[in-house]
Amino acid sequence: AQSVTQLDSQVPVFEEAPVELRCNYSSSVSVYLFWYVQYPNQGLQLLLKYLSGSTLVKGINGFEAEFNKSQTSFHLRKPSVHISDTAEYFCAVSDADQGAQKLVFGQGTRLTINP
């Protein structure tokens, strides 16, 4: 069975500072990895995804993530955050061999940007 651990439930950061949201996964098979963002009382929006190829993946809103197979990690980074980045962020994993039929989500990380 697959699982995802987001190591920080809350991350406070000052505006224009860099941020890293950590994600580790557990799986015995090849995986696809995703980061989603959720603004208050809304659905989830895809930030970026790793399917194959380059381990550094760039997404929307200036975010990027790096797939590290040996450390089973997929950490999300942004070099300079904005107030509008305040949201909850979810890491998710799916089984590549089953065509990403199902997603398993982490518990989420609440990112708070302070002025």
**Site residues, another protein (CB under 8 A):** 4, 9, 32, 34, 36, 41-46, 49, 51, 90, 94, 99-103, 105-108
The answer to whether the beta carbons of residues 79 and 18 sit under 8 Å apart is: yes
Task: Annotate 68-102 with three-state secondary structure.
Answer: ECCCCEEEEEECCCCHHHCEEEEEEEEEHHHCCCC
Burial class (CB in 10 A: 0-12, 13-18, 19+), 34: buried
* Complex with another protein: residue 50 or 85, whichever CB lies closer: 50
* Nearest distance in Å: CB 84, another protein: 19
Q: How far is the CB of 53 from another protein (least distance, A)?
A: 14
**17 vs 51, beta carbon nearer another protein:** 51
Smallest distance from another protein to CB 15, Å: 26
